Structure 1
Amino acid sequence: MIRAGFVSLGCAKNLVDTEVMLGILADNHIMLTDEPAKADILIVNTCCFIDSAKEESISTILQMADYKTNGVCRGLIVAGCLGQRYNQELLDELPEVDAIIGTGSWHRIMEAVNAVLAGERVLLTGTVDTIYDEKMPRINTTPFYSAYIKIAEGCNNCCSYCIIPKVRGHFRSRTIESVVAEASMLAKRGIREINLIAQDTTSFGRDIYGTARLVDLLRELVKIEELHWIRLLYCYPKYFNDELIQLIATEDKLCKYIDLPLQHAHDEILQAMGRHDSLQDIEILLGKLRRNIPGVAIRTSFIVGFPGETEAHFQFLKKFMDRQKFDRVGIFTYSQEEETVAGSMQNQIPEEVKQERYHDLMSWQCRISEELNRNLEDQTVEVLVEGTNPEQPSVKFGRSYREAPDVDGRIFIENTAESQPGEFIRVKIVQGFTYDLLAERIS
């Protein structure tokens, strides 16, 4: 039997593509292995969003290529964003690679496998217009109690720094019925938490229904009895409307957690980035979220070192962060990408200045995060148990509604050795730190 090994890089959206390809392979009697040295076929699902992601992808491809001499690997396949963007170039420059599958060709994974096993080198890219649905086979690689559901693919926002529309295509939603059907199937398999993802979740439905239908989708999803938490990720602020805020505020299953990538706060930089929101728009939305959703946790992301960002722009951003006190913040240095508007802009910022601003802003947010986490002390929250601290078996760790999987901190829970992964328990926060919390079980 042919064995295949997979490495999935980048975001959760890429991970869903990986899981669908795994399902297709399994349906075609390919045995899956997590030991690269035992794999006949190795597949790397790549990311190319920024320079560091491209570097990680290339490094991983070369690491996997070693198994062609130090293992039993007969073929190396590169899938995903890097393959879509640099297809022929990768084949020409990396002779170790036997096949390239673009972001719109994941459904052709068996075609690539069969070609490679026959000794051929193939390039399977082209129009990016596909999206999976509930009928596609899929093997979850996340914990048995949690899963991602991709509700749309591609993006129409065309921010000046971003390559995603070129490698993922135009924005295209799934139907409400398709998403609900998949969520229902996952729930029947034991999934208790679903995380809805897309490049722009708040635009869900605008392309096929003529208007945003995220609220309608959520109203159907909360009816699924087995689901306990439904979390929204990647919420573009432009279409975050009052109806959505009210639903999150009143529906218990919807996590009071808002992932709202803002990228900057100064209007001049926002305009240069091609963002569709002004500082005033952003502050009005943040005010509504906090007034209407008690206990809301807000995550955002910022880019420092964008072309033309002055020291005054940067200090303005710091003051904005200090004023708003976000619960979670991801900070990135601007990556100059070819084929983007920002990539050809004048006034590119030196790398050392980007790094200085990155570390400055990280330190700034650390202070804010620690302050906010200390304010949580003595509060009672519900926690989804995820595992055991290997150094202290009596200490479990997990997440509350305030922490998204993979990107946020953990809550460590003392004196709860009997708790098992996938269980929801009540805890009291004992101590808050910069990223993590210490708690004790109360029920």
Structure 2
Amino acid sequence: MLKAGFVSLGCAKNLVDTEVMLGMLSAGQIQIIDEPSEADILIVNTCSFIDSAKEESISTILQMADYKKTGKCRGLIVAGCLGQRYREDLLQELPEVDAIVGTGAWHRINEAVEAVLQGQRVLLVDATNTIYDETMPRINATPFYSAYVKVAEGCSNCCSYCVIPQVRGSFRSRPVESVVGEVRALAARGIKEINLIAQDTTSYGRDLYGKAYLDTLLKELVKIEEIVWIRLLYCYPNYFTDEVIELIATEPKICKYIDLPLQHVHDDILKAMYRKDSRSDLETLLAKLRQRIAGVAIRTSFIVGFPGETEEHFAALKEFMAEQKFDRVGIFTYSREDGTAAATLPGQVPEEVKEERYHQLMALQCQISEELNRNLEGQVLDILVESIDEQTPGTIAGRSYREAPDVDGKVFVENAAGVKVGQFIKAKVAQGFTYDVVAEKL
């Protein structure tokens, strides 16, 4: 049987595309293996969101290309955002690459494999208007108890720094029935945690139903008995409705965890970013979330060094972070991306200034995170067991509702002998640290 190896880079949204392509390859009688040296075909699903992601993608492509010499690789395929964005350049600059499969052509992955094996060098880049549905084969690359479900594809917000609309197309939602059908199938396979994702999750349904429809979708998903946790990731603040807030507050299955990328807080910068909210709007939303949702954990992200960001603008952002005390914060230095409106703006900030601002905010957030985690001491939390420490009997690592998979810290639970991965247990927090907490099983 033909063997294929896969490397998936970038965000969870990209990972879902990878899982669907894995399913299609497997349905085509191609064996999926973990060892790249044994693969006949190697596929890299790439990211191109910022410079560091592009560099990682190129580096990984070149690493996989080495297996043409040292392994059994007969063909190297580049899929995803980098291929979509730089398709001709990649084929010209990287002769090691045998096929490009763009973000709108993932469903043609088997066609790409067949062409490569016939000695062809192909470029498959279709219109970016596709989206997978519940009928597609899919092999989960996540742990057996947790899965990502993409409720929409693309983005129509067109922030001035972002290339997503160019490489993923305009925002398009899946019907409620499609999402519910997929989650039911995942639940039947043992999935207990569903992480809903999109580039703009709170806009879900606006294109299909004429209004934000996330609350309607959530009301259907909570009816699925086997699902224990439903988590919302990548929530754009502008369309966060009171109905969704009420559901998070009152529905036990919906994690009181909100990923709310804000990007900046000063009105001058928000306007230059083409963001739809003002500082006042953001403060009102945050106050509403915290007032209505007891114990809510809020994760956000900010960009430093955006063109025109002065010391005054940066000071406002730093002050805002100190005031709001977010549970989790991701800090990114501005990346000047070709084809975006921000790339042509005056006042490009020097790299050393970006780095200095990045480190200032990271240091501040470390202090805040440690303070918040210490405040958890004495609280009892439900913990999803993710791993068992073989070196320290009775110790496990897991997550509470406060930690999303892959991006947040862990809860280390002691005196937990006999538990199994994928099980939910109750534990009392004993110590809080900067990123992680230590607890004892009850």
TM-score normalised over the length of structure 1: 0.99
Partner of 1:285: 285
Gapped regions of structure 2 (runs ≥ 5): none
2:435 aligned residue: 435
Q: State yes or no: 1:180 paired with 2:180.
A: yes
- Once residues 267 and 77 of structure 1 are traced to their aligned partners in structure 2, the CA distance between those partners, rounded to angstroms, is 43
Q: Distance in 2 between matches of 1:416 and 1:376?
A: 19
Separation in structure 2 between the aligned mates of residue 244 and residue 58 of structure 1, nearest angstrom: 40
Return 5+ residue gaps in structure 1 as ranges.
none
Partner Cα separation in structure 2 for residue 350 and residue 240 of structure 1:
35
Deviations 1:17-49 (A, max 9, x none): 000000000000001100000000000000000
In structure 2, relative to structure 1, the CA distance for the partners of 1:313 and 1:391 (3 Å cut) is: farther
Q: Please report how far the alpha carbon of residue 301 of structure 1 lies from its aligned counterpart in structure 2 after TM superposition.
A: 0.2
Q: 2:15 aligns to what?
A: 15
Tell me how far apart the structure 1 counterparts of residues 178 and 32 of structure 2 sit (CA, whole Å): 27
Under a length normalisation based on structure 2, what TM-score does the superposition of the two structures give? 0.99
1:228-243 residue pairs with structure 2 within 5 A? Answer: 228-243=228-243
- Partners of 1:389 and 1:265 lie apart in 2 by 42
What letter is aligned with 2:287? G
SS at match of 1:435: coil
Which residue number corresponds to residue 214 of structure 1? 214
Secondary structure at the residue paired with 1:335? coil
- The aligned amino acid for 2:156 is N
Match in the other structure for 1:29:
29
- 1:277-321 alpha-carbon deviations (Å, 9 max, x no partner): 000000000000000000000000000000000111111101100
Task: Name 1:328's counterpart in structure 2.
Answer: 328
Distance between the aligned counterparts of 1:163 and 1:198, measured in 2?
15
Q: How many residues align?
A: 442
Q: CA deviation at 1:269?
A: 0.5
CA distance in 2, matches of 1:125, 1:393: 51
1:166-206 deviation digits (Å, cap 9, x = unpaired): 00000000000000000000001000000000000000000
Report Cα offsets for 1:215-246 as digits up to 9, x if no partner: 00000000000000000000000000111101
Q: Matches of 1:363 and 1:388 in 2, distance apart?
A: 31
Distance in 1, Cα, partners of 2:60 & 2:237: 34
SS in 2 for 1:394: coil
Q: Which amino acid aligns with 1:142?
A: T
| CA shift digits 1:48-79 (9 cap, x unpaired) | 00000000000000000000000000000000
1:399 has 2:408 as partner: no
Instruction: Establish whether residue 410 from structure 1 lines up as the match of residue 410 from structure 2.
Output: yes
Letter in 1 for 2:31: M
Deviation at 1:388, TM superposition (A): 1.8
Aligned-pair distance for 1:126?
2.7
CA deviation string 1:95-130 (max 9, x = no partner): 000000000000000110000000000000031000
Matches within 5 A, 1:198-347: 198-347=198-347
Offset of residue 418 of structure 1: 1.1
Alignment-mate amino acid for residue 362 of structure 1: M
Work out the CA distance in 1 between the residues paired with 2:60 and 2:173. 31
Amino acid in structure 1 at the alignment position of 2:291: R
Q: Which residue identity is paired with 2:405? A: P
Hey, what does 1:119 align to over in structure 2? Answer: 119
Structure 2 distance, partners of 1:291, 1:358, is: 30
State the partner residue of 1:42. Answer: 42
Which residue matches 1:351? 351
Please state how far the C-alpha of 1:390 moved relative to its aligned partner. Answer: 4.6
Q: Which residue of 2 aligns with 1:71?
A: 71
SS of 2:363 mapped into structure 1: helix
Letter in 2 for 1:95: P
SS of residue paired to 1:393: coil
What is the root-mean-square deviation of aligned Cα atoms in Å?
A: 0.6
Distance 2:347 2:114 in 1: 49
Task: Supply the AA of the counterpart residue of 1:39.
Answer: A
- The Cα of 1:394 is off from its aligned counterpart by 2.3
- AA aligned opposite 2:180: V
Inter-partner Cα distance in structure 2 for 1:169 and 1:376: 42
| 1:158-173 correspondence to structure 2 within 5 Å | 158-173=158-173
Counterparts of 1:46-57 in structure 2, within 5 Å, are 46-57=46-57
**CA–CA distance in 1 between the matches of 2:102 and 2:41?**
17
Structure 1 Cα separation of the partners of residues 438 and 126 of structure 2: 50
Separation in structure 2 between the aligned mates of residue 240 and residue 393 of structure 1, nearest angstrom: 44
The percent of aligned pairs where both chains have the same amino acid is 71
Distance 1:295 1:42 in 2: 45
